[in-house]
Structure 1
Amino acid sequence: MTGKNVSRIDLYEAVYQAAGLSRSESLAMVELVLNEITDTLAKGETVKLSSFGSFIVRKKKQRVGRNPKTGTEATISPRRVVVFKPSAILKQQINGKPSGTKATTIAELGSSALLRPRSADVRS
């Protein structure tokens, strides 16, 4: 483990390097994906990414919590939280075990496939 965090800039750069898009197109693509995920979660819907995992919105009820230092009770208000559940394939990859499926890289897709929506994905 290196302890390095991956930032948006790192994601832009990875898309730029792999897809052969311009830096501004790479930035726009990453922002578009992140905004779509954020907007979907804000509506309370689940985001499922095949071979990666699911982002799930859970509702938590109001409850009584305690300050661990003083033991003082405090009311924790109801809220929504986002939970990530990794796929079995991602778990296997993290643990260094072959998943049995081949991951497709951005370079293999080609930049034109990234920019054009599939007919089933077009929203009216």
Structure 2
Amino acid sequence: MPLTKAGLVQVLFEKEILSKADAARAVEAVFSLIKQALASDEDVLISGFGKWTVKDKRERRGRNPQTGQEVTINARRVVTFKASGVLRRLISEHITKQPRMAK
């Protein structure tokens, strides 16, 4: 089950870190700041977690998988995420200890 913004609020509330209202405002503020930074073409680096970067993708040729017809894929900007070494090691250790259940 994915962790959602509502789930983050609930965890902060259950661990008695913040009231539900304060937790909701804090979570919303953090994500708002991240969105603003990325929209302003700034990288977002959270030590021990990872880095979000905005990259430009060039226009390119592609193919419609349903029809096989060649199409032009427009140039666009995308957000990429690179996990920190700390996060990659944590995930790697977790996988070796406990295999993930198939969906």
| Matched residue, 2:59 | 62
Q: Which amino acid aligns with 1:26?
A: A
Q: Distance in 1 between matches of 2:15 and 2:90?
A: 20
The secondary structure found in structure 2 opposite 1:96 is: helix
**Structure 1 residues 55-104: Cα deviation after superposition (integer angstroms, max 9, x where no partner):** 1111001111111232211111111001110001000001117xxxxxxx
The secondary structure found in structure 2 opposite 1:65 is: strand
Q: Which amino acid aligns with 2:42?
A: E
Deviation at 1:13, TM superposition (A): 1.0
Name which of 41, 44, 50 aligns with 1:44. 41
Deviation at 1:16, TM superposition (A): 1.8
Q: Which amino acid aligns with 2:65?
A: P
| Matched residue, 1:33 | 30
Unaligned residue ranges in structure 2 (runs of 5+): 95-103
Name which of 13, 18, 21 aligns with 1:21. 18
Deviation at 1:51, TM superposition (A): 0.3
Q: Which amino acid aligns with 1:57?
A: V
Q: Which amino acid aligns with 2:2?
A: N
Name which of 7, 10, 15 aligns with 2:7. 10
Q: Does 1:53 align with 2:50?
A: yes
Q: Distance in 1 between matches of 2:55 and 2:16?
A: 35
**Sequence identity percentage:** 37
- Give 1 or 2: higher strand fraction: 2
Q: Number of matched residues?
A: 94
The secondary structure found in structure 2 opposite 1:31 is: helix
Q: Distance in 1 between matches of 2:13 and 2:27?
A: 10
Alpha-carbon RMSD across the aligned residues, in angstroms, is: 1.3
| Matched residue, 1:82 | 79
- TM-score normalised according to structure 2 size: 0.85
Q: Which amino acid aligns with 1:16?
A: F
Runs of 4+ in structure 1 over 6 Å off: none
